A and B are shown apart, each in its own frame.
Chain A
């Protein structure tokens, strides 16, 4: 079985642009979470989606948005990019709604560089 797949793997944008990152969870997993990992730091929670509904949101500005599709894949959108948005964006899928359980299976990530 394929693991969590993310695209694109690398991308370069300029300030003010918009970016869309995509994630396909492990087959059968209904929960997708997005994390931002700045170099040298731990992953920071952005969003969680379960059964196509937003179930959690981290402390990120409204420039960040996401959605989950009927096939449980997900998109993370970031508008008006800032230099500080440069990071590795990780998608994690889980077989449960992450209530006191649920190993997170991470994808390889999308490395975004904002110039």
Chain B
């Protein structure tokens, strides 16, 4: 079956440092979405990438979709304590979204 992998599993950073999480699919994706889940909360949509090589920015967040549409990354510049949470990528495989295991980010003030 389709698999979505994410690394790292955990990341601890000092406030102000940068953070990157990587997402890899075993097969080519139609599109990929990113979600953020705060501790005790529910996943909240961040962005969707559709085109090969696509790059999108949201303030301090930069999202990339690989040329082969099999990988993606999320980069946060100058992390803040409000960035704490688990970041999930979700790949669309023609019928449903398959979520990765997530990267849990903790930010030390």
Q: Which residues of A contact B (CB under 8 A)?
A: 33, 35, 41-45, 48, 55-56, 58-59, 90, 98, 100-101, 103-109
Option from A42, A48, A55, A103 in Cβ contact (under 8 Å) with B101 = A42
Check if A100 sits within 8 Å of B31, measured CB to CB.
yes
Check if B44 sits within 8 Å of A106, measured CB to CB.
yes
Check if B96 sits within 8 Å of A45, measured CB to CB.
yes
B residues in contact with A56, CB < 8 Å: 95-96
Q: Cα distance A43–B33 when bound, in Å?
A: 13
B residues in contact with A44, CB < 8 Å: 99
Chain B interface category by residue count: 20 to 34
Q: Quick one: closest B residue to A45, CB to CB?
A: B96
Q: CB of B109 within 8 A of chain A? A: no
Check if B100 sits within 8 Å of A48, measured CB to CB.
no
Q: CB of B48 within 8 A of chain A? A: yes
Check if A59 sits within 8 Å of B45, measured CB to CB.
no
Query: Mind listing 21 A-B residue pairs with CB under 8 Å?
Result: A41-B101, A42-B4, A42-B90, A42-B100, A42-B101, A42-B102, A45-B97, A55-B95, A56-B96, A58-B96, A90-B43, A98-B92, A98-B96, A100-B31, A101-B31, A101-B48, A104-B33, A104-B35, A104-B45, A105-B45, A108-B41
Q: Cα distance A72–B42 when bound, in Å?
A: 21
Q: CB of B7 within 8 A of chain A? A: no
Given contacts A58-B96, A59-B1, contact A100 B44 (CB under 8 A): no
A residues in contact with B45, CB < 8 Å: 103-105
